[in-house]
Structure 1
């Protein structure tokens, strides 16, 4: 059964900010308020709280052997506009509950709140290059997709976090009158861009596990009665490993991409521990890659033994929207697995 404290804290975080859904954009007062709330919970639990130069929060329960590498759990508290109740917040709130359930261990346990995850994992990337890191990091997160629901599985163990490449493409034409220019005489920039969008879809679909999206489109001059003279699109391309990401980049001619995050493989050790604890509950272990970026990726790239546990997303896998939902029963199972995994990692044999 899911604890009332966990549910109450999730609600408290969710209702920070105005408007429908979660509205705690990175770098805003609302994100600050959510982090301050987490600090108050950590202090109430007796944790030592660190606030680093980037604003990341780490609450520590000191171990009996403090020289050993630390074990952290957590996530982020910022959101997209009109986001969901569980994205990020679940990892922080459940992480604190799990650490307190484990209690004092040989290794120091930590609960971390990374800042500004939604626009590029800025807090965790800063921490990975600028401040001390744990030996282990286990992040609990909603899946944000339909795979686990389709498999009938409440939990999933993440194998890797997809690499991401973003790039803009510009198409030029000639502005002319929409009514007097024959179709055969047009140089329509938007038509060329539309053909490219379909090409992006088809070429990504030809690579197993890869995805690509054109999510931004800017057309000029932008008048209903003027043939577009220019069109600019932004491509987001993702793949679960470097080999497929390189193939995708080549297929879409994105070699000059301005934004790149490499794929991150999750720790075999942490994956094994999570899988064993899932099996201990009588559940089938489902492994899957994450197509979304997460704070575990920069830590893994920096050498941390990082792993992730996904909770089944319902409502068709809806996320980044108010319809995001996971059942209390699934979340309770996830907290059990997280707690058991932290207990094992923080008390090495």
Structure 2
């Protein structure tokens, strides 16, 4: 069974519009069970660690790992995560080297890779992750593949605004204490703060209004904040400018020089443009890199303007085949060192 056919099988799990395999769900479990079967068919030794991470091994601990994650956001895309697992499995099958891993809960803060790195006695000699770009850079450059230089840091938390509830029809505008108006002002300030910091981005993706009646002035509003920046200094600046205390924070992580160089060499050897770019999204590779594992990421061109976390997510069959070929060649070289 080929890479695209396997991606289709994983995409079908859960039904509904898009990919629906949230962390800890029966659908994520089903995806792991399906991939475990494919690992066994490939003759790999299957193992599940204490955190639910799935491994298909060709050798002992401490070897080179390739992989990604199988969980998804609600109504997610076909390629985000599974491409790295299925493509990694294909690379391991072709080369007979390394181990393929499917981490748990990447979409909710890289839970599986964090837990593994925090408690593992032995980590791999290197880690390679194949992933779609999830952005428009490669498509605009006319390049099928790219190599990640670093993964940005991010801070996540929330802000809460208090006001006073009142009747929507009998409370004069001049006398209102509307928590939602205060939250709206803050959302605009968050946008402007990110725009003043080079490479910074900030998103408010969730908003909870209480008491929630259409004819009641909001008394309490809670908004989520996701702030990202290319380095620790700018992440600190952005967090301070927004004025929130992150509940979760991940520092930027540089990719390993040697595996990154090998990926670039493999791309250049095929007479393709060698594009280097940072990743604006968090990835398991960043967690392993922060733990001291030489890590590298190979990006596949995202089409449709780079849309991701959406059923409209798209990469071409030709680009995927090329990416798996580069990944397999890089795995062979990294494992031989």
TM normalised by structure 2 equals: 0.96
SS of the equivalent of 2:131 reads strand
Structure 2 distance, partners of 1:28, 1:234, is 23
Q: Is 1:122 paired with 2:111?
A: yes
In structure 1, list runs of 5 or more residues that go unmatched. Answer: none
Work out which of the residue numbers 319, 322, 326 in structure 2 matches 1:330: 319
Structure 1 residue runs of 4+, over 3 Å off?
Answer: none
Work out which of the residue numbers 249, 264, 283 in structure 1 matches 2:253: 264
1:344 is matched with which residue? 333
SS of the equivalent of 2:206 reads strand
Q: How many residues align?
A: 336
Q: Is 1:170 paired with 2:163?
A: no
Work out which of the residue numbers 77, 81, 91 in structure 2 matches 1:88: 81
Work out which of the residue numbers 277, 282, 285 in structure 2 matches 1:288: 277
Work out which of the residue numbers 39, 58, 62 in structure 2 matches 1:61: 58
> What are the Cα deviations for residues 38-72 of structure 1, in whole angstroms up to 9, with x where unaligned?
1111111111222111111111112xxx69x4111
Structure 1 distance, partners of 2:216, 2:35, is 53
Structure 2 distance, partners of 1:6, 1:200, is 41
Work out which of the residue numbers 190, 199, 203 in structure 1 matches 2:189: 199
- Deviation of residue 180 (structure 1)? 2.5
Following superposition of structure 1 onto structure 2, how do residues 12-161 of structure 1 map, counting pairs within 5 Å? 12-62=9-59, 69-104=62-97, 109-131=98-120, 132-161=122-151
> What are the Cα deviations for residues 199-250 of structure 1, in whole angstroms up to 9, with x where unaligned?
0001101111110011111112222222222222111101121121111112
SS of the equivalent of 2:106 reads coil
1:213 is matched with which residue? 203
Structure 1 distance, partners of 2:111, 2:147, is 24
2:214 is matched with which residue? 224
Contact 1:14 1:85 in 2 (8 A): yes
Structure 1 distance, partners of 2:160, 2:35, is 44
- Deviation of residue 95 (structure 1)? 0.6
In structure 2, list runs of 5 or more residues that go unmatched. Answer: none
Work out which of the residue numbers 258, 270, 287 in structure 2 matches 1:298: 287
Structure 2 distance, partners of 1:159, 1:89, is 22
- Deviation of residue 103 (structure 1)? 2.4
TM normalised by structure 1 equals: 0.93
